[in-house]
Structure 1
Amino acid sequence: MGIKIVPRHGKSLKDKLYLPAIAGGMKTTFTHFVKNLKDTSNLKTMSYPEVQPEDLSERYRGVHRLTKWDDGSEKCVACYMCATACPANCIFIDAEERFDGVAEKRPKQFKIDLLECVYCGYCVEACPCDAIRMDTGIFSFTGSSREEFVVDKEYLMSNERSKDLNDG
């Protein structure tokens, strides 16, 4: 009738204890350890973050930035499109009225939780004003507390486009 019966393995006590499998894994690990200890020239390691990777694509997404108009004011009109498109729900915007005639409103608060962000770029694609970008060239972001990873509008506006990306 087309039914295939597959015999189940691992019924013996030796297989149930997983000891041979653990011993085999430890043997492989120890063999690599001894080989690398004898000849360290074949190790492919990098002193990160002191030495940054050089094989990153131009399209690699870094930390976000908010773009500005020529007068220094933010391009963001607090339309919430980026926050709506974000699959991680890590963008928080609080809008206020704008009185300079550039737009109707602007973000009073604009925060991104970098620990929640999956760096997908949907926020950049969804923005109708080209106000948010991920071309800073900042690929590693470190901090000692969770609060340091929630970046605000001032931080996002202070980020500039990477010089390496400007040349291309």
Structure 2
Amino acid sequence: MNLIEAQWEVARLDGFLYGAALMIGNTRRYSACAYLIEAKDGVGIEQALRDFYYWHPGCVFDGVERLERGMRDLETGMRPFIARQTSQTNDVDLSNLQAYLSFKAMDMISPILDGRTGLEVFRLNSVPEPAASDCVFFCIKADAAWVVLQFNDDLPYRRGLAEGRTPGGSLEQV
């Protein structure tokens, strides 16, 4: 698959994740997205994400976890983030929904990776900071690119905005 086709498939995955995050009924609490980042020689995923988010130079991660079972761990690891607890579901229904949605996401990831094996998969958590979204990143190294799935809990950010605070804890000047 060439880069343009991969971008097209990632855009489809992005729309799917965005829609799944909205499906829980709290449209401003959770969000999710998918995107590609160029993989430069000798640059790890932490630095690649910092370079991608150049407007947030203080971006810090709570370590990098390599998922030992790769794609299998990705499918189960994203479950709690792809669909969150809602008042309309019980625990069994939620678990079934999470399993189904993560399976569908993996089905969408498959053509992006185009049959590659031995892929490295990583999980990163953003370090919680006042007035910033809590983010979980799942990153797949695929030759010249990183496929990134990002899941956000935006409540801290929204509360910060309501209080006139910005990420990093500073008060905005009005």
Richer in helix (by share):
2
Which one has the largest radius of gyration?
1
Q: TM-score, normalised by structure 1?
A: 0.23
Richer in strand (by share):
2
Q: Which structure is higher in RCO with an 8 Å CA cutoff and minimum separation 6?
A: 2
